[in-house]
Amino acid sequence: MTDSPGPAPPAIATSLGNLSWRPRTEEDQGLLRALFAASRRAELGLMAGDPDQERAFVDLQLRAREQHRDATRPGADLAIVTLDDVAIGQLDLHRAEGHLEVLEIALVPGLQGHGLGTAVLHGVLAEADEAELPVVLHVEPANPARRLYERLGFVVRSTGGTHLEMERPAPGAATGPRPAPPAAEETEEETATDGVDALPVDLPPLPTYDDLAPHIGVTVACLPDGPDLELVTVEARTRPGRTGPVPYSALLAGPLDRPLEQGMHRLDLPGTGPIELFIVPITPVDGRAVYELIVT
């Protein structure tokens, strides 16, 4: 892991807030585990809700993936994507000689489908254009994200293995084939960029503003054996011109002596029942731990 994943871009204005990224730190491990777990929901669903087995699976697979990345893409730049300074995802880049490779863009559940992943990719392309470098990524042939990449100017350069190698040429560069780089040995644990901010389609629907707003003050159980939390506030985050479900942020408070890590937690919410959601610890208030939940 590098100490600085290149210069942070100017804040990218989106309909949900200002998007940017920063260097990854050890404190971001909870977020990385949550992102990886969300990408492997099918396997985790076979473990009958055993938290110890799920944790061991995620730790083993995540470690294997990181070891593979370090072996095949040494010195990769690892960043955390932020929205209004709140960590919401990851961006892994490999600044190789002569090109910039996108290894992964991933966002937390609840922030999918609003163009944030595409905005991150646009930021990467802008950096590459300024440096006059081509951008490379890999995608499964049937992945719907391939259409987005083609619209952004990516073309297929190599069809070996299970993924296509696609390249967006540097500004003014010829678009003919270029020699493919030596193929890295693929493993089951390798995660290429299979789509911008895509998640498995079997995720349960997220609670809406109307689900939670009537239940301020209600106790929320953190399953299977976490502390009880109180739903303190539910605040709409509407923006001009926005249609559809109301985006919102909610605060939950719990005991300081039983803190929860940033990441996915199974919460028994009023109006919806148990569901896994991503929460972020923030500054304690009045002797209680406080957590923020954002749903867009």
Rounded average pLDDT over 188-214? 53
Joined tokens for residue 223: 């399953």
* Per-residue confidence band for 239, with pLDDT thresholds at 50, 70 and 90: low
- More confident site: 78 or 33: 78
Q: Is the confidence at residue 191, as pLDDT, over 50? A: no
CA–CA distances in Å: residue 247 to residues 44, 160, 212: 28, 42, 12
Lowest pLDDT segment from 125-129, 272-276, 277-281 = 272-276
**Average confidence score pLDDT of the chain:** 79
Interatomic CA distance for residues 93 and 155, integer angstroms: 19
Q: What percentage of the chain exceeds 70 in pLDDT? A: 78
* Per-residue confidence band for 242, with pLDDT thresholds at 50, 70 and 90: low
- Asked if 100 and 133 count as a contact pair (C-beta separation under 8 A), the reply is yes
Q: Is the confidence at residue 229, as pLDDT, over 90? A: yes
* Per-residue confidence band for 36, with pLDDT thresholds at 50, 70 and 90: confident
pTM of the model: 0.59
Q: What percentage of the chain exceeds 90 in pLDDT? A: 29
Rounded average pLDDT over 223-249? 81
Q: Is the confidence at residue 197, as pLDDT, over 50? A: no
Q: pLDDT tens-digit profile of 129-166? A: 999 999 999 888 888 888 889 999 999 988 766 778 89
